Amino acid sequence: MLISNNNNHKATAPAVEKPLQFQLFIPLLSLLICSFITFASQVTIAPQIVKSASNISAVAKSAVAEHGQLSIKDGQLVNQQKQEISLAGPSLYWSNNGWAGEDFYQKNVINNISQQWQASIVRAAMGADFKGSYLTHPEDNLKRVERVIEAAVENGLYIIVDWHSHHAENHTKKAIEFFQHIARKYGHLPNIIYEIYNEPLQETDWHSVIKPYSLKVISAIRAIDSDNVILIGSQSWSQDVDISAKDPITGFSNLAYTLHFYAGTHKDELRAKAQVALDAGLALFVSEWGSVSADGTGDVDYQETEKWLAFMRKNQLSHCSWSLSKKEEGASIFKPSASTSGPWSDKDFTKNGLYLKEIIQNWG
Residues in the site for Mg ion, rule: CB under 5 A? 187, 225, 227-228
One of 102, 169, 288, 304 is an active-site residue; which one? 288
User: Of the two residues 187 and 342, which places its CB atom closer to Mg ion in the complex?
Assistant: 187
* Catalytic residue status for 199: yes
Q: Are 191 and 152 a contacting pair, CB within 8 Å?
A: yes
One of 169, 195, 199, 304 is an active-site residue; which one? 199
Q: Are 297 and 332 a contacting pair, CB within 8 Å?
A: no
One DSSP character per residue, 49-60 reads HHHHHHHHHHHH
Integer Cα distance of 74 and 80 in angstroms: 15
User: Of the two residues 146 and 227, which places its CB atom closer to Mg ion in the complex?
Assistant: 227
Dihedral angle, C-alpha 9, 12, 14, 20, nearest 10 °: -60
Q: Which of 286, 327, 314, 275 is nearest to 88 (CA)?
A: 286
State whether the Cα torsion 103-108-113-119 is positive or negative.
Answer: positive
User: Of the two residues 185 and 267, which places its CB atom closer to Mg ion in the complex?
Assistant: 185
CB 226 → Mg ion: shortest distance, Å? 6
Q: Which of 172, 190, 191, 170 is nearest to 180 (CA)?
A: 172
Q: Which residues of 60-89 are buried (b: 16+ CB within 10 A; e: fewer)?
A: eebbbebbeebbbeeebbbbeeeeebbbbb
User: Of the two residues 140 and 225, which places its CB atom closer to Mg ion in the complex?
Assistant: 225
SS3 135: coil
CB 228 → Mg ion: shortest distance, Å? 4
CB 158 → Mg ion: shortest distance, Å? 13
Integer Cα distance of 293 and 285 in angstroms: 20
CB 186 → Mg ion: shortest distance, Å? 9
CB 136 → Mg ion: shortest distance, Å? 30
* Catalytic residue status for 66: no
User: Of the two residues 225 and 288, which places its CB atom closer to Mg ion in the complex?
Assistant: 225
Residues labelled catalytic = 199, 288
